[in-house]
């Protein structure tokens, strides 16, 4: 049997990383101006900071951290929805782990749970089925979050609830889409991005093809990358080679997992139960057209936003004035530019969503960039 370390150690080889850094520097010297690369995935942010890849690059190559963490982009009013649902009698609210620590306008779901609400963090969405079966006298609300990566898991859960006729399970859908977020970033007149590292797991589901419009519309290289440090460094090399040759193309460094078309079975199951929502407000980016999903009308009986509409607040809530998560998510500043970073805002006491999740840019900077309490 192959040891687990055998599968990844080649992707973390220091000699390979140093060799790639040297080649990147060679091509970067041919480029007139800066290359500002946005990684559209919190996993890539984590890799960049954990392995110090940003410190290996020449001065004219810089990382900009984008809106790639599903917890970080969730606006406060959606957290308030979850809190309002959890406060209703006879409700069990179920969601993925990091979500319960994100501050809403009146506290996090962890605060509400401490005050007696039945809120259960899970790792596997299918665990929600057993919670529903074990509690037939309760209504179970699955607060679904995530990009294209996790949406198929929610679709499987809906599919199982329908096929097994589990009537006490409803859904609050917050699944979002990457390509419209790229459009929103590039639509900002202050946008600094001139290359993208495409997300890995998202692209396994959606396929590489979804980024072709971004390449064409913004004349910007997009390189889909794996998560290991050699993956990321090789992707940067592919970008700087394009820049040195004055090209803008879609390339797939993560071809061992990502195909042109993606996972068609997963896409079909998602499309069976979910449709594109007209608008969704992203934290830091505001409302983005066609950037999120919702349940199809024929499954309205499972849509918590319709079933409990009269109990849900409608007010849009902005971030704390001292928090700069919005600018960080748009790539206009970095975590250390924020006045409360590492002071009032830490992983233990987060003011902003970027500090909550391990995939958040502020959290990654705090952990790996020499911040001390």
- Domain residue spans of the chain: 4-69+185-252
Query: Of 193-202, 256-265, 318-327, where does mean pLDDT reach its minimum?
Result: 318-327
pLDDT in the model for residue 83: 96
**Residue 3 clears pLDDT 80, i.e. is over it:** no
What mean pLDDT comes out for the span 232-247? 98
**Residue 108 clears pLDDT 80, i.e. is over it:** yes
121-147 per-position pLDDT tens digit: 999 999 999 999 999 999 999 999 999
pLDDT in the model for residue 371: 60
**Spatial contact of 300 and 167, defined as CB atoms under 8 Å apart:** no
The more confident residue out of 334 and 179 is: 179
Rounded Cα–Cα distance for residues 248 and 218 (Å): 9
pLDDT in the model for residue 319: 74
| Residue 324 binned pLDDT confidence (cut-offs 50, 70, 90) | confident
Work out the angle between the directed axes of helices 42-50 and 229-244 (0-180°, nearest 10).
100
pLDDT in the model for residue 370: 64
Residue 33 has a CB neighbour count (10 Å cut-off) of: 8
What mean pLDDT comes out for the span 93-109? 88
38-79 per-position pLDDT tens digit: 998 888 998 999 999 999 999 999 999 888 788 888 899 999
**Spatial contact of 144 and 173, defined as CB atoms under 8 Å apart:** yes
**Spatial contact of 323 and 349, defined as CB atoms under 8 Å apart:** no
Rounded Cα–Cα distance for residues 51 and 6 (Å): 19
| Residue 344 binned pLDDT confidence (cut-offs 50, 70, 90) | confident
What mean pLDDT comes out for the span 245-250? 97
pLDDT in the model for residue 373: 44
Residue 156 has a CB neighbour count (10 Å cut-off) of: 17
Q: What is the CATH topology of the domain spanning 4-69+185-252?
A: Rossmann fold (3.40.50)
Q: What percent of the chain has pLDDT over 70?
A: 98
pLDDT in the model for residue 320: 74
Global pTM reads 0.91
The more confident residue out of 103 and 279 is: 279
Helices vs strands, H then E, count in the chain: 15, 11
pLDDT in the model for residue 135: 98
| Residue 358 binned pLDDT confidence (cut-offs 50, 70, 90) | confident
Query: How does 243-255 read in b/e, with b if 16+ C-beta sit within 10 Å?
Result: bbeeebebbbbbe
| Residue 2 binned pLDDT confidence (cut-offs 50, 70, 90) | low
**Residue 216 clears pLDDT 60, i.e. is over it:** yes
Return mean pLDDT, the chain: 92
């Amino acid at each position: 049997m192959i040891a687990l370390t055998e599968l990844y150690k080649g992707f973390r080889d220091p000699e390979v990383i140093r060799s790639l850094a040297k080649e990147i520097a060679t091509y970067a010297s041919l480029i007139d101006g800066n290359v500002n690369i946005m990684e559209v995935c919190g996993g890539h942010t984590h890799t960049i900071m954990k392995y110090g890849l940003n410190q290996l690059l020449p001065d004219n190559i810089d990382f900009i951290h984008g809106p790639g963490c599903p917890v970080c982009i969730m606006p406060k009013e959606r957290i308030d929805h979850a809190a309002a649902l959890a406060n209703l009698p006879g409700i069990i609210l179920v969601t993925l782990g990091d979500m319960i620590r994100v501050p809403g306008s009146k506290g996090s779901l962890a605060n509400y749970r401490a005050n007696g609400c039945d809120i259960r963090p899970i790792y596997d969405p299918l665990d929600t089925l057993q919670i529903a079966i074990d509690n037939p006298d309760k209504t179970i609300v699955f607060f679904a979050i995530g990009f294209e990566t996790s949406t198929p898991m929610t679709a499987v859960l809906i599919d199982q609830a329908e096929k097994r006729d589990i009537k006490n399970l409803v859904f609050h859908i917050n699944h979002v889409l990457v390509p419209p977020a790229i459009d929103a970033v590039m639509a900002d007149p202050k946008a600094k991005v001139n290359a993208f590292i495409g997300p890995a797991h998202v692209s396994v589901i959606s396929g590489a093809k979804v980024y072709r419009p971004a390449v064409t519309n913004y004349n910007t290289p997009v390189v889909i990358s794996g998560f290991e440090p050699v993956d990321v460094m090789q992707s940067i090399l592919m970008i700087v080679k394009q820049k040195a040759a004055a090209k803008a193309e879609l390339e797939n460094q993560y071809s061992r997992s990502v195909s042109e078309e993606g996972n068609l079975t997963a896409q079909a199951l998602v499309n069976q139960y979910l449709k594109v929502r007209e608008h969704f407000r992203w934290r830091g980016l505001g409302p983005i057209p066609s950037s999120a999903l919702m349940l199809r009308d024929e499954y309205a009986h499972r849509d918590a936003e319709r079933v409990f509409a009269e109990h849900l607040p409608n007010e849009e809530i902005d971030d704390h004035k001292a928090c700069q998560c919005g600018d960080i998510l748009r790539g206009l500043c970095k975590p250390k530019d924020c006045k409360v970073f590492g002071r009032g805002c830490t992983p233990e006491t987060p003011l902003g969503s970027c500090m909550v999740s391990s995939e958040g840019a502020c959290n990654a900077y705090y952990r790996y960039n020499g911040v001390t309490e």
